[in-house]
Amino acid sequence: MASRVVTLLMIAFVLFACVAANAQPTIKKVPVTSTSAASGHEMFKTYCSPCHGLDGKGTGPAAAALKKQPANLTELTARNGGKFPELKVFATIKGDADVTAHGSKDMPVWGSLFPSISSGQGEVQLRISNLTDYVKSIQGK
C-alpha cells in the first residue's frame, strides 16, 4: 500500500513537472539574415526589435519570453546624465560589455554573429557603428 502511494506521488510529480515545463515560453533565436550594413534602422528592425520593439521601448513580441524585461533603449541618454553612452552601447552590441539586465545572456551578441553576413572585419565594425548611431537617434522618442 505504501509503495503504491509513493508510486502515485512520483507519477503526479513527473506529470506536474512536464506541465510546468510546457508552460514556460520558449525563446526562438533571431535568424542572422543579411541586411544592409549601411542602415542602422534596417538592422535594428531585423535584429533588435523582436525584443526591444520597433520603437526601442522594450516591448517587442519576444519580450514576454525573456527572464528580464528588455531595456527601453530610448532612455539611455536620460539614464546616463544627458549623455548618450556611445562606447557602452557599441561594446554591448559587439559583446565586449556584460549587461546585467540581460540576465542569462538572452541578448544575442551580434558582434560575433555579424561576420557570417559581412565581407570582413571592417564591415562588422560598420554594422556595429551604424546600429549604435541608430540607437542614439531614437533617444527621447
Least confident of 11-20, 90-99, 121-130: 11-20
- What's the pLDDT at 116? 85
Q: Is the pLDDT of residue 12 over 60?
A: no
**pLDDT tens by residue, 44-85:** 999 999 999 999 999 999 888 888 889 999 999 999 999 999
Predicted confidence band of residue 114 (pLDDT cuts 50, 70, 90)? confident
**Which DSSP letter does residue 117 get?**
G
- What's the pLDDT at 96? 82
Q: Is the pLDDT of residue 95 over 60?
A: yes
Give the dihedral of Cα atoms 91, 84, 74, 108; nearest 10 deg: 0
> Check: CATH 1.10.760 for 27-137?
yes
- What's the pLDDT at 20? 52
Cα gap 81→94, rounded to integer Å: 23
- What's the pLDDT at 57? 97
Closest C-alpha to 76, from 28, 139, 33, 11: 139
**pLDDT tens by residue, 20-49:** 555 555 555 555 788 998 999 999 999 999
Q: Give the residue extent of every domain in the chain.
A: 27-137
Q: Please identify which residue in the block is written with the cell numbers 556595429.
A: 128
Answer for the pair 82, 69: CB distance below 8 angstroms, yes or no: no
Q: What is the mean pLDDT of residues 118-129?
A: 92
Question: What is the number of helices (H) and of strands (E) in the chain?
Answer: 6, 0
- What's the pLDDT at 49? 93
Percent of the chain at pLDDT exceeding 90? 44
Closest C-alpha to 83, from 92, 95, 91, 75: 75
Angle at 49 between CA 134 and CA 106, to 5 degrees: 110
